[in-house]
Structure 1
Amino acid sequence: MLNTTLATCQSFVFDQLLRNWSTYGINKELGFSYESMTHNWENNPVGRIRLLTQCRQLYTFSHACQFKNTPEWQALLTPLFDFITTHYFIEERWIFSLDDDLSVKDRQSDAYALAFILLAFSHYFKTTNDERAPQYIKKTHQFLLDYMQAESGGFYESYPIDDKQIRRQNPHMHLLEGYVAAFEATQDEGYKKAIQSLLSTALKHFYHKESKTLREFFNTDWSLDPQTGHQVEPGHHLEWVWLLYQANKITPNIEYTDLAQQLWLTATRHGLADNGGIYNQIDGDTYRPIDKEKRIWPITEYLKAITVIPLGKEEKIHRLETALEFVQQYYFLPNGRWNEYLNADNSPKTYPLPGTSSYHIFLGVAEVLRWSKKLPDMSH
């Protein structure tokens, strides 16, 4: 039954994973999150502490406080926000990473990480009303427009610009997510314009009409990269499904909900493994799996997509039950730990706990919780 499975997953996320990360994964003295943890809940230094990881943790705990007002989590938010603004905002732009000793490591501004400034600071603002957050969001938005926009559409991967670099759809997807959150938090029309621009970029450049797939890797002019242009990630198809429906609440357009439905069909027909779970990667031309391993995040994106795609109630419940049971059986471990990767046969790979993954795990379960509250009767 969905109720029972969902309650177990909710307890795993809120009472185990987030509780343990807030206890062991955050340096209370300095206010930052560790990049990675061992399965014994000990810090696992990896030689860098990324802006991305700090933002994902700030987002996760800020959003979690909107579900469950936990004083211990509330207490983490402003120190984490202060750590991010103090250590990563240098000379009016965001840098990529610090070293393990918190000295500056990589000074590049990374479009993917900037997307998470938008997302994290929007939710931090909603939770705390700290007026500094929307000011930083505005500065980040302006920096993207002034320094990272490409003439051919979309944004470059990083600043300083390297126009020979392979361009990816992935940072654009997360920028869309960040701008949706920024608009919801501030109602600033500039962010709505950015949403519309990113949506049209997706339809024009990322969606491959012949194969009905979302492509990942491109040259500067948006032609497919000759080496990697055929690679397709079912998880990203599903992530876009959810995002297209979020964006549609702000700027309704049937073209984009039609795109979402097409991406859903491609991902569910070709990306779901027969033995459960979702392949990391398939070939966009033949639809055959390229990488049969199953990282945890694609199935959490599947959960989110199920909640928004137009399906009958019975089918939604069946898909959610099946996916949540798979997550519980193969990914979730006692004491809030998880398997980050499964092999093709669903056996777990040995891998530490990345500080970036709780964002996916939390949001996947949170969206199902939000959806289920709209359903009066789930005893089925």
Structure 2
Amino acid sequence: MDQLARENLAEWKRILAYWEKYTPDYQRGGFHGRLNYENQPILDAPRSIILTGRILWTFSLAYRYFHRRKYLVLADRAYHYLYNHFRDTKNGGVYWSVTANGAPLETRKQLYGHAFAIYGLSEYYAASKFKPALDFAQELFKTVDKHGFDAQRGGYYEAFGTDWAVVDDLILSKQPWNKSQNTHLHIIEAFTNLYRVWPDALLRERVAHLTDAFLDKLISPKTYRLRLFFDENWTPKDETVSYGHDIEASWLLWETAEVLNDHARSERVKQVCIKMAEAACSGLGEDGALDYEFDPLTNHHNHERSWWVLAEQMVGFLNAFQLTGQQHFRDKADKSWEFIKKYVIDNQKGDWFGTVKPDLTPVKNDKVNFWKCPYHNSRACYEVVRRLG
């Protein structure tokens, strides 16, 4: 086995062990919504559909790969908590968050959150073959498509009220822009995973549509970078460069093209993905890590290094190497891993630091919270093992 794959296999197991040890809540069910740097649970912390859906995906994939029952038990725990506490039985869809005791908290309908519910549920079905999980994923897809799809202009809207009414407060988007690359990236990721286990004609049509939306609207034809926010007519409203999303999209879109198995579309996606990886290289420091963001309007660089960006760049550059055979991409993937080993993995408290400062010192913040999850880093390890193992 390739050394990079061997080391990532060991790290993947270590990440899973951390989340198995510290995050289950055996008093109230599910998983703790927040752990501080000392791995102590914050008992009143709310729980997000993002964290719950990503935990469900993580342990479902782990069971599917390793066939160890303890991972399926943890996936079961995440599934039942998601189904019993996040599902809106009156209006359809899932809540954005619930309280520490599992009561509805933020009941608005964020399509970003629905994407991670579908992503986790589809992976759980692939692992467990538990038909109600697939039924739930199908139901969420149909609900999202019914309320969120813009049949006139294409793509999906950001957010809705509890009852799927239009709202002004979109939470994740810069006001008043109601379409974003981030939500679309995770919708296509989720729909692609669902299509693997449910090759439905409408779902395939939507996945193909989203692929074309990235090629024609979300990715700049001049810079091969994602444009972050849009109005409903797809007019770009922000020029900020998000290096992590660019490199993440460069391999997720290729994954979608492979699943669709459409030769003409795949060839176009391949060329764009390679150019996106090339463009992302401009954000690399000499140490091999991508900066977080750059705003060309203000010339402001955010030189912080984020755990999720490091995870995605390792996979993105490895994917570009496999598409092109160009050694410099493999070198960048290897250098990404060396940075992760040296600065991002927390050998004392477990898992990964969320942020590393420009001076290469770690920020000792929460190990688990609304957004800090086991999905980016465990998935990166899996992808390296899958591609090189």
Tell whether 2:95 aligns with 1:89.
no
Residues in 1 aligned to 2:278 and 2:346: alpha-carbon distance in whole angstroms: 31
In terms of mean alpha carbon deviation, does 159-168 or 319-328 score higher? 159-168
Partner SS state of residue 290, structure 1: strand
| Equivalent in 351, 370, 377 of residue 337 of structure 1 | 351
- Which position in structure 2 is the counterpart of 1:159? 160
Tell whether 2:273 aligns with 1:260.
yes
Amino acid of the residue matched to residue 306 of structure 2? R
Contact 1:97 1:107 in 2 (8 A): yes
In the alignment, structure 2 segments of 5+ residues that lack a partner are 169-174
- Which position in structure 1 is the counterpart of 2:12? 13
Residues in 2 aligned to 1:341 and 1:265: alpha-carbon distance in whole angstroms: 24
Partner SS state of residue 337, structure 1: coil
CA gap of 1:9–1:246, structure 2 versus 1, over 3 A, is: closer
Residues in 1 aligned to 2:66 and 2:139: alpha-carbon distance in whole angstroms: 30
- Offset of 1:27 from its aligned partner? 1.2
- Offset of 1:350 from its aligned partner? 2.4
- Which position in structure 2 is the counterpart of 1:349? 363
CA gap of 1:47–1:212, structure 2 versus 1, over 3 A, is: same
In terms of mean alpha carbon deviation, does 4-13 or 189-198 score higher? 4-13
**Superposed counterparts of 1:73-152, under 5 Å:** 73-90=71-88, 91=90, 92-150=92-150, 151-152=152-153
- Which position in structure 1 is the counterpart of 2:306? 295
Contact 1:303 1:365 in 2 (8 A): no
Tell whether 2:372 aligns with 1:361.
no
**Superposed counterparts of 1:163-178, under 5 Å:** 165-166=176-177, 167-178=179-190
Contact 2:97 2:107 in 1 (8 A): yes
Partner SS state of residue 336, structure 1: coil
Report which of the two has the higher share of strand: 1
Instruction: Render the CA deviation track for 1:176-217: whole Å, top value 9, x for unaligned.
Output: 110111011122222211111111221222112233321112
CA gap of 1:285–1:212, structure 2 versus 1, over 3 A, is: farther
Amino acid of the residue matched to residue 26 of structure 2? K
Residues in 1 aligned to 2:337 and 2:44: alpha-carbon distance in whole angstroms: 31
Q: Name the count of aligned residue pairs.
A: 366
CA gap of 1:20–1:70, structure 2 versus 1, over 3 A, is: same
For the aligned residues, what is the CA RMSD? 2.1
Amino acid of the residue matched to residue 362 of structure 1? S
- Which position in structure 1 is the counterpart of 2:256? 247
Residues in 1 aligned to 2:62 and 2:79: alpha-carbon distance in whole angstroms: 16
Contact 1:211 1:285 in 2 (8 A): no
Contact 1:37 1:44 in 2 (8 A): yes
- Which position in structure 2 is the counterpart of 1:377? none
Instruction: Render the CA deviation track for 1:4-57: whole Å, top value 9, x for unaligned.
Output: 45434432331x321121122011344412222223322135742111110000
Partner SS state of residue 38, structure 2: coil
Partner SS state of residue 294, structure 2: strand
CA gap of 1:44–1:4, structure 2 versus 1, over 3 A, is: farther
- Which position in structure 1 is the counterpart of 2:171? none
In the alignment, structure 1 segments of 5+ residues that lack a partner are 374-380
Contact 1:122 1:182 in 2 (8 A): yes
- Offset of 1:96 from its aligned partner? 0.7
Residues in 2 aligned to 1:221 and 1:306: alpha-carbon distance in whole angstroms: 32
Partner SS state of residue 276, structure 1: coil
Tell whether 2:332 aligns with 1:319.
yes
- Offset of 1:132 from its aligned partner? 0.6
% identical aligned pairs = 18
- Which position in structure 2 is the counterpart of 1:237? 246
Residues in 2 aligned to 1:180 and 1:203: alpha-carbon distance in whole angstroms: 16
